[in-house]
Structure 1
Amino acid sequence: MRAMCEKVIPNTNSSWRYCKYTIDFIPFNWHYHPEFEICLTLNSRGVCHIGDYIAPYAELDLVILGPDLPHTWQSSANHDDSPQVVHVAQIPKKWLQQQVASHPEFAVLEPMLITAFRGLKFSLSTAVKAKAIFEQIEQAEPLEQYLGLFKLLYLLSKDSEARTLSSSTFNYLDKSDPARDKFEKVVEYIYQHYTESLSAEQLATMAHMSTNHFHRFFKKRMERTLTEFINQLRIGKACKELINTNRAITAISDQCGFKNISNFNRRFLALKGSTPSQFRKRLRQKSLV
């Protein structure tokens, strides 16, 4: 789907923006912006999309995103109607890079900020500490918020368990690519219809390419084949259904576009390392801990 460019306005008397969202659910909103973003999602379960990374997320989900990296989270309302909370810090790229360049003490942040261009997900222990910092920032004056922001960045930079998310070659927003509009049209169509029967021939016609050229074109830009990408989207949707509903696995398989349950189980196992029933059971056990 075509990512929308979001306009970010810093808070009053501040060089960056902090916001706390308290919402019933998180709608799919595929977007990007030129700022770095730190996002902590609480009391929420669903699927996150960051660049070409698609996976389920759960309580205390903490990530940092580099500039112009398309992203969205998506969840359904909680069964107990409790609110979902998202703390967001959006930091202008030029301003943050100037801060790091002009203060030797901030040099320790630079490796993390470089890796953030692919997205970074942090450990649970770091997320717990980040939650406390965000709560302090929420109540603070602008100067205290500034200090809190760099305390938060320093915390993230020390997490040895942080892992990168989007692939190194992801370039969906490469505006110098003359085929960008053509690619966006096809990807948008796939996002809208991935639970339906899609053929490479149909998509190649949309892109005004031969089928063989389209396969090469798609794999070069997405670092995976068309089939792999569609299956990843379908399994991502299946994870969301397994997390948020009690629907039968056979019904979820049909809803997500798989022609038979055996194929669904095989694809799910290949991508997630467990069967759908094991995945659901494991999440329920964790929620009881």
Structure 2
Amino acid sequence: MKLMFEKVLPTENCSWRYWLYEIEELPFNFHYHPEYEIVLTLNSHGQRYVGDSIENYDDLDLTLIGPHLPHTWCSSQSILGQPQKVYVAQIPVAWLEQLTNMTDLKSLKPLLQLSRRGIVFSKKVAKESATIFKRMKSKSPSERFIGLLAILQLMHDDPKSQVLSSSGYNIAITSDPSTDKLDKIIHYLHEHYTRNLKAEDLAQLVYMSTNHFHRFIKQRTEQTFTELVNQLRISKACSLLINSSMPITTISDNCGFNNISNFNRRFIQFKRMTPSKFRKLYLTRILSS
């Protein structure tokens, strides 16, 4: 699969695009576009891919994605029948950067610069932004514009925001052969994570020596190959723990772990709790909300 280009059309009577997706699951669709994008994901749990960052996410996930930065979210089907919601604001580069040339808004420039590596924000700011996004649905274009500025200001003021992609990842590499190889590796892992994955096989897939492959993965993802695979498998396991009543041993097998002891050890490594405790805590939170 190739990295996909997305054509963005503004909302009617607006200079930018506001949209709400309500869907059963978020498919893996690694793509990019020339616009800045604010993404708020609700009632969803899975993995977020931004540039060379691969992280687990859950409810109230708010990010700012810079122009041409490859990204996607991937989740399982809706939890207890609740639709997953994704609020999106896609803003043309020239429009937003011209806006921040105004003296009043120059303080937003560093935020836009950092967004070229992707930024994730705190739950507090995500919750406040969710309130604004929900109000936008019934508002006029001018009121939506004011809401957009309010969200950008919340992002600017968030002391707990975190940059996602590594400092070595930049827009220039989105069209070089190395990025194509990383995309190919990520897609392969996502489609074959249940198998016995070997670095040697992936190295052959992208025409690298095994040693070069290990260095490449570490440089581009800041994780070892084993860590990358385990993170993906644990994320898939979390989705099954939440969205099914499968026994934990079955989930372990379905997610590519060779034995339950290894699964439990890796789960605790990534989630700081056992699979059974994770299932209990998450379902308790959903039922009480």
Name the TM-score, length of structure 1 as normaliser: 0.88
Contact kept in structure 1, 2:20 and 2:86, CA below 8 Å? yes
Contact kept in structure 2, 1:2 and 1:188, CA below 8 Å? no
Q: Deviations over 1:21-67 (max 9, x none)?
A: 22233333222222111122233334333332220312x33222222
Shift of residue 193, structure 1, vs aligned partner: 1.2
SS state at 1:139 partner: coil
Identity over the aligned pairs, expressed in percent?
49
Query: 2: CA distance between counterparts of 1:80 and 1:46?
Result: 15
Q: 1:210 to 1:25 in 2, by over 3 A?
A: closer
* Matched AA of 2:154: L
Query: 1: CA distance between counterparts of 2:123 and 2:174?
Result: 36
1:1-289 pair list within 5 angstroms: 2-51=2-51, 52-58=53-59, 60-78=60-78, 80-101=80-101, 103-170=102-169, 174-175=173-174, 177-287=176-286, 288=288
Contact kept in structure 2, 1:169 and 1:223, CA below 8 Å? no
Name the TM-score, length of structure 2 as normaliser: 0.88
* Matched AA of 1:217: F
- CA RMSD in angstroms, aligned pairs only: 2.4
Contact kept in structure 2, 1:2 and 1:184, CA below 8 Å? yes
Q: Deviations over 1:96-143 (max 9, x none)?
A: 112112x11112222322232333232333223212222332222222
Query: Which ranges of structure 1 fall in alignment gaps of 5 or more residues?
Result: none
Shift of residue 253, structure 1, vs aligned partner: 1.0
Query: 1: CA distance between counterparts of 2:175 and 2:48?
Result: 27
* Matched AA of 1:133: I
Moved more, 70-79 or 14-23: 70-79
Query: 2: CA distance between counterparts of 1:24 and 1:213?
Result: 39
Query: Which ranges of structure 2 fall in alignment gaps of 5 or more residues?
Result: none
Moved more, 210-219 or 73-82: 73-82
Q: 1:130 to 1:79 in 2, by over 3 A?
A: closer
Q: 1:158 to 1:186 in 2, by over 3 A?
A: closer
Query: 2: CA distance between counterparts of 1:82 and 1:180?
Result: 36
